[in-house]
């Protein structure tokens, strides 16, 4: 069936400036790490993308290795783009990344210029694109000189294969260094993509300060700790959930869901109920509460979750007492 985007799609979403760049990103973006692979249901994937675009989500986040198998999320996205969104390409911000293992041999991993340039060429083919809007180095490489990795990002922009560049999971110190090199090269870093949730607050210990001072955007991933920060695991591991999926590639596994974490989840759930929202909605609002966070990356396995998560926009402020009660549970 032909897809016609909702007319009012830009009215409900909030758009935030990404650092001091010209680019605005939606408060919520959609990530395609899981649920868009070759093993997943194509019509479900398509419905999620439609629902996201209908709700004003303009930013879709991919990486070379998303699937499974690796690469297949980009192929799925390319297919949906061609079928339904080709006319809207200029309304979209599409990102990809390289940095985790992608192909055999010494050139399909980490941070060499050889890997990054070839990987982006492959990603563009899979998605049927001439360029991505943002290209990231996916994780720090301890052995490749930072000048080479940042030089590869600069080259890619000059080749016209990406408009902006970013880094992911770099520490505060590595970030400072990378930003300096990129600025000197004349390709300023647009954005950093770190992991951030109530259960993983490392960015509060320096990285957010660096990004704020340097006026670089921040888009946070796994804000629900892969689904743990919802009420779904309180009564066991439901079939169809990520922890039951055995997908691999870093997906949440049953053994990671400990009684201690579930105890915290249950107490957080009670606070969310007091606010009249689901725990997922509260956890998403919490992850985006700092003005230095440009966008929060959603990962959903079905359209109904997207609807639930987006409702968080209507109740995203916290009273000081609520924040204190959450702090007491998290015990930072
Ligand atoms: N840069 C990096 O290294 C990196 C790493 C990881 C992720 N990312 C990016 O971040 C994106 C999001 O990561 P993530 O998928 O881990 O995010 P997440 O929000 O922590 O977890 C998503 C999972 O939470 C559950 N969920 C989502 N909304 C829900 C709702 N309203 N109610 C109940 N359950 C809900 C679903 O689990 P079920 O599947 O169980 O239904 C969903 O698959 C990725 O797609 C990717 O783009 C980047």
Instruction: Give the chain's domains with CATH numbers.
Output: 15-225+287-315 (3.20.20.100)
Atom of ligand 1 nearest to the CA of 307: 31
Atom of ligand 1 nearest to the CA of 224: 20
Average pLDDT of the residues in 243-272: 93
Number of helices followed by number of strands (H, E) in the chain: 11, 10
Do the Cβ atoms of 46 and 56 come closer than 8 Å? no
Please check the confidence at residue 80 and state whether its pLDDT lies above 80. yes
Quote the ligand 1 centre to 38 CA distance (angstroms): 18
> In angstroms, rounded to a whole number, what is the distance separating the alpha carbons of residues 236 and 267?
16
Report the residue among 25, 26, 30, 33 best suited for mutation to probe ligand 1: largest number of ligand atoms under 8 A from its CB.
33
Answer yes or no: pTM beyond 0.85.
Answer: yes
Ligand 1 atom 48 nearest Cα: 221
Report the residue among 44, 52, 221 best suited for mutation to probe ligand 1: largest number of ligand atoms under 8 A from its CB.
221
Reported as a pLDDT band with limits 50, 70 and 90, residue 247 is confident
Reported as a pLDDT band with limits 50, 70 and 90, residue 248 is confident
Query: Is 230 touching ligand 1 by the criterion CB < 6 Å?
Result: yes
Residues 6+ apart with CB under 8 A from 57: 13, 26, 28, 29, 30, 298
pLDDT tens profile 86-108? 999 999 999 999 999 999 999 99
Quote the ligand 1 centre to 72 CA distance (angstroms): 17
Helix, coil or strand: residue 224: coil
């Amino acid at each position: 069936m032909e897809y016609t985007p909702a007319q009012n799609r830009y009215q409900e979403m909030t758009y935030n400036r990404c650092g001091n760049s010209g680019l605005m990103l939606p408060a919520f973006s959609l990530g395609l790490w899981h649920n868009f692979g070759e093993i997943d249901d194509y019509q479900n994937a398509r419905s999620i993308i439609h629902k996201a675009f209908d709700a004003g989500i303009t930013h879709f986040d991919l990486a070379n290795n998303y699937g499974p198998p690796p690469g297949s999320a980009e192929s799925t996205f390319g297919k949906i783009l061609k079928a339904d969104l080709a006319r809207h390409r200029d309304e979209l911000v599409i990102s990809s990344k390289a940095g985790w293992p992608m192909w055999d041999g010494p050139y399909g991993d980490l941070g060499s210029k050889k890997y990054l340039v070839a990987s982006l060429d492959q990603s563009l083919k899979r998605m049927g694109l001439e360029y991505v809007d943002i290209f990231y180095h996916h994780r720090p490489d301890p052995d490749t000189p930072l000048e080479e990795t940042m030089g590869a990002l600069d080259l890619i922009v000059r080749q016209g294969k990406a408009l902006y560049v970013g880094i992911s999971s770099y520490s505060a110190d590595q970030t400072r260094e990378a930003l300096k090199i990129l600025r000197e090269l004349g390709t300023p870093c647009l954005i950093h993509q770190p992991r951030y949730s109530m259960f993983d607050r490392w960015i509060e210990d320096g990285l957010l300060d660096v990004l704020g001072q340097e006026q670089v955007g921040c888009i946070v991933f796994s804000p629900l700790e892969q689904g743990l920060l919802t009420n779904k695991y309180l009564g066991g591991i439901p079939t169809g959930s990520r922890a039951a999926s055995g997908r691999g590639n870093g997906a949440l596994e049953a053994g990671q869901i400990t009684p201690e974490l579930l105890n915290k989840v249950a107490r957080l759930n009670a606070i969310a109920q007091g606010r009249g929202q689901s725990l997922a909605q509260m956890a998403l609002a919490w992850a985006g509460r700092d003005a230095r966070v440009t966008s929060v990356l959603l990962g959903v396995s079905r359209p109904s979750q997207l609807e639930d998560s987006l409702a968080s926009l209507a109740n995203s402020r916290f009273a000081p007492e609520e924040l204190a009660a959450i702090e007491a549970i998290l015990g930072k």
